[in-house]
Structure 1
Amino acid sequence: MNVIRRCLAPAVLFAALALAPLRAQDPPTLLPTGSGDPLWWDTFISCVDALERFTGPRLPEWVVRTAPLSYRSRRPLYDREGHPLPDGAGGQATEPCHQSGRYFLPPAWRVGRGAALPLVIYNHATTLAKDQVPSTFQGHEWIFGAAAAAYYGFAVVMPDQPGMGGDAVATHPYLHARSLGHAVVDAIGAARDALATDPYARTHGYAWDGRVFLIGYSEGGFASLAAAKELEARKAEFGGEADFLLAGTACLAAPVDLPGAVRRMVLEPSRPFSHPFFLPYLVIAWHEVYGPVMDPLEVLAPRLLESRTDGNILQWMDGTRGGDAADMRIAQRMGAAPCQVVLRTLLSPAWVARNLEEPGYATSPFRAVLEENDVSGGWAPTRPLFFGQSLDDQEVPPAIAQRALDRFSEAIRAEGRDPDRLLSFKAVAAEGSGVDHVKGTILALPAAFDWIHRGGPPVGRPPTARR
């Protein structure tokens, strides 16, 4: 029975891939987009649940080649006041850390012997549970990496975020640009090594075609853009302009404008939020990086910190449970209905007044922290950027992508270049469609992989989005 399950589950799930003609060079878009149809979300989740339960990492190689990834990365170091520690060479000191992940290669029938493959570094979205990551074949997102490898013929590498998977003893640096950027950049070398040494790839003569794409949804999009910013800043270390390996970045429904749009969302006095766990997640993660500037005992609302029979916020956020479970406990503690928690109520009013509201924000050390992690400002991209999401996303509103596009356009024009050749946006579902931030993954990710396959052509700009 187990053998039948292991063979049947992937066969059923990947049956749709047969729509692409054998070894087709221009397959149709993997999933339809733009219709506003949430694409049977519950059915999708059930199918992936079954795969993770019955198949695990044992997908047959005629479907997709997969193997775990292990590589050495760097963790940036700060002093106890939150200032970067110098490395003596004009940069920031780092310490080595171990990162894990998983990679996927296309089956030989799809691409043929001797194929040259682009490398796609796919960064997974926000997860609170440390084991719900690609290396463990959990968390559901691996299915998109597997499908992109099998359908489009990409070599897809999915790193676990720092502090996850094989690095679970560390605190995950949620939305910390330098930590995530280092991990993604370091994954590129690990991806090239994996492609060069993988037995399946060597048997079939696979090689790298010289292109690297970065892609991610939500925090994964933030990590991808943080890495793109670092790569652009260090271009000389990666071959210079002529041989620069970054081919494009897809940043999907990501909170990239922390000091602007995200700060305004937190300050809103009555706006409900469906997934409130992200705010204490940020506070706890940044306390690990910046020290007293982000002390949870001062930043978070006293009610959340109270130790009761159900624990407190510090226990709920320890990585042993998922975000939905943490959201439920937060809502219960705050006396709110699920999906109706107001973010501002999760913070100490005194801390908000000193550090988020004017005039305190103007001189607060927290302002410098937010600006350090603003990946949508302070640089001008030279390689294509794709933004995509549902216009009905309330957790990471499209106005954030609009703001990023406007800032990038201004920076690119200031250098005498045409932003329309580099920047694009795709609305994968309309306002009123019911496709929220979570459901948007099954529309935005296929759209981004299709954008990579078709060479990154511009696909327009977002309409004026509600804020």
Structure 2
Amino acid sequence: MKRLFRAMGAALAILASPLGAQPSPTLLPTRPGDPACWGTFIACAQFVEQWAGPRMPDWVVHSSLLSYSARKPLYGDLGRPLLDDRGVQRTASIHQSGRVFFPPAWRLGGHRRMPIVIYTHGTSLLKEGVASQFGGHEWILGAAAAAYYGFAVAMPDQPGMGGDGTSFHPYCHGKSLAYAIVDGIQAIRDRFTEDPYVAGNDYAWDGRIFLMGYSEGGYASLAAAREMETHRALYGGEAAFQLAGSACMAGPFDISGTTRRQILARNQPFRHPFFIPYVLLGYNAIYGRIMDPLETLTPRLLATGEDGNILQWINGFTDGTLVDGRIAARMGRAPGTVVLRDLLNPDWVARDLEDPAFATSPMKGILEENDVAEGWTPTRPILFCQSPDDRDVPLANTLTARWLLEGAVRKEGADPTGLFTFLPLGRPGGGITHVEGALLAIPTAFDWIYRMGGASPDRPAE
């Protein structure tokens, strides 16, 4: 009986949402350190998880599978881009999957026009931990946001995940992640005319796209924003540019600076050490032999024991927590005390990653290529959210990205005021970790999109 009452309460919470006359809930403290109010959106998410699940009946949320081709950038010797006769980087075609969540028709009334919110998932070692497979947990928040706010929420699987199970995920490779997002836009738009439920209920895209994500998803979203801003003609041109805003939260935006310093730190323990071999193996899949794991990783991780080795652990079928434990055990350290630098081959570090050799190493160009906040000028609003106590992805990534992008706007003679929003997740010393920050930041992004322009043009935001 208690379960029934909880379900009834959650269902009523869906009704009490921004699609009616009521204002959207406040999902983040207005002052750092205040308790967060999750409000009815979280009740909606709980309802989706506990009562709808992957069955996803249309009266709760309509789910539509995505399948499309995306570009994979190609590189040659020493990580240099392979160019065609026009001097354009060559690409190969890869299969991408994903899922789009639509609000139920009964929720929309006469407001059938809606924006597309492309929500890119965070780091996952599991190939099936993505929306197309109803894996992991982030799809639940995407589905809840569709029902609660009236968005079309598209959740593309990242390369090497979901339907692209044969390739290795290019972890934190800016171009690859950006292409996986922007190359799916047409497939997402096609869902409005090709999905029988959506087309039969006269749903329509209102012409705007919002990007959002946390951690690697935040990094990917900023990379996709860069791709759209620097190739505007492909996304509506100057007259009807499709990008309306981006929520890029707690991502490793500054690879060659902040992230490199984090890797080189000698006495800084890291809670999730699988991060560094995941990056290196992902870059090996993109850049080839210059990122050979036999050169970059410590022999201790490469040695095959009864539990295998690092190349087998990061295979897309082992949970990240288990891999973290295996790495710690192999390094003779307690969980949560592994130092990233110790996972690397010291000869490679001295030759290619550490100053002063880094200045002339091919690694410099590779890492700088993946700094997603440099070399472009945003024209659409960007939200940054992060905890000042984030030790997995240091806050300096976000602060550096904002500083660089504001500088690019000023260089163009424009005023960056109002273009960038930074919301700290708690006070310094409050102890909000990277994972805990996601629980605040993701609902905040949906709320920001709603309040800052996510409402349909014929239904202004409060």
TM norm structure 2: 0.91
Pairing partner for 2:269 from 259, 269, 272:
272
2:191 paired with 1:194: yes
- Please list the CA deviations of residues 332-365 of structure 1 after superposition, one character each: whole Å capped at 9, or x if unmatched: 1111111111111110111111111111101111
Pairing partner for 1:182 from 161, 179, 183:
179
Instruction: Show the 5 A alignment for 1:234-245.
Output: 234-245=231-242
Residue of structure 1 in register with 2:460 after alignment = none
Residue of structure 1 in register with 2:458 after alignment = none
Query: 1:256·1:376 contact (CA, 8 Å) conserved in 2?
Result: yes
- Please list the CA deviations of residues 346-395 of structure 1 after superposition, one character each: whole Å capped at 9, or x if unmatched: 10111111111111101111111001111011111111111012222111
- Aligned residues, how many? 451
Q: By how many angstroms is 1:323 displaced? A: 0.9
Pairing partner for 2:373 from 359, 371, 376:
376
RMSD of the alignment, in Å? 2.8
2:68 paired with 1:83: no
Structure 2: how far apart are the matches of 1:235 and 1:394?
36
Greater shift, 10-19 or 302-311, is seen at 10-19
Greater shift, 234-243 or 92-101, is seen at 234-243
Q: By how many angstroms is 1:206 displaced? A: 1.1
Q: 1:40 to 1:438 in 2, by over 3 A?
A: farther
Q: By how many angstroms is 1:449 displaced? A: 1.0
Query: 1:87·1:94 contact (CA, 8 Å) conserved in 2?
Result: no
2:130 paired with 1:133: yes
Q: By how many angstroms is 1:277 displaced? A: 0.4
Q: By how many angstroms is 1:51 displaced? A: 6.8
Structure 1: how far apart are the matches of 2:98 and 2:8?
24
Secondary structure of 1:326's aligned partner:
helix
2:96 paired with 1:99: yes
**What amino acid does structure 2 have at the position aligned with 1:217?**
Y
Instruction: Show the 5 A alignment for 1:161-176.
Output: 161-176=158-173
Residue of structure 2 in register with 1:352 after alignment = 349
Q: 1:65 to 1:382 in 2, by over 3 A?
A: same
Q: By how many angstroms is 1:322 displaced? A: 1.3
Q: 1:383 to 1:29 in 2, by over 3 A?
A: same
Structure 1: how far apart are the matches of 2:103 and 2:13?
15
**What amino acid does structure 1 have at the position aligned with 2:170?**
P
Q: By how many angstroms is 1:36 displaced? A: 5.2
Pairing partner for 1:362 from 344, 359, 363:
359
Identity of aligned residues (%): 55
Secondary structure of 1:67's aligned partner:
strand
2:295 paired with 1:298: yes
Residue of structure 2 in register with 1:461 after alignment = none
Q: 1:432 to 1:12 in 2, by over 3 A?
A: farther
Residue of structure 1 in register with 2:55 after alignment = 58
2:304 paired with 1:307: yes
Q: By how many angstroms is 1:197 displaced? A: 2.2
Structure 2: how far apart are the matches of 1:144 and 1:66?
13
**What amino acid does structure 1 have at the position aligned with 2:142?**
G
Query: 2:71·2:93 contact (CA, 8 Å) conserved in 1?
Result: yes
Instruction: Show the 5 A alignment for 1:396-435.
Output: 396-435=393-432
Residue of structure 2 in register with 1:460 after alignment = none
**What amino acid does structure 2 have at the position aligned with 1:442?**
L
TM norm structure 1: 0.90
Pairing partner for 2:282 from 270, 277, 285:
285
Q: 1:152 to 1:54 in 2, by over 3 A?
A: closer
**What amino acid does structure 2 have at the position aligned with 1:103?**
V
Q: 1:11 to 1:31 in 2, by over 3 A?
A: farther
Structure 2: how far apart are the matches of 1:14 and 1:389?
31
**What amino acid does structure 2 have at the position aligned with 1:260?**
G
Residue of structure 2 in register with 1:67 after alignment = 64
Pairing partner for 1:394 from 385, 391, 411:
391
Residue of structure 2 in register with 1:437 after alignment = 434
Structure 2: how far apart are the matches of 1:417 and 1:365?
35
**What amino acid does structure 1 have at the position aligned with 2:258?**
A
Q: By how many angstroms is 1:32 displaced? A: 6.0
Q: By how many angstroms is 1:34 displaced? A: 6.0
User: Any unmatched runs of 5+ in structure 2?
Assistant: 455-462
User: Any unmatched runs of 5+ in structure 1?
Assistant: 458-467
**What amino acid does structure 2 have at the position aligned with 1:148?**
A
Structure 1: how far apart are the matches of 2:30 and 2:147?
20
Structure 1: how far apart are the matches of 2:58 and 2:29?
27
Query: 1:38·1:434 contact (CA, 8 Å) conserved in 2?
Result: no
Structure 1: how far apart are the matches of 2:155 and 2:309?
32
Query: 2:278·2:314 contact (CA, 8 Å) conserved in 1?
Result: yes
Residue of structure 2 in register with 1:225 after alignment = 222
Structure 1: how far apart are the matches of 2:381 and 2:86?
31
Query: 1:57·1:67 contact (CA, 8 Å) conserved in 2?
Result: no
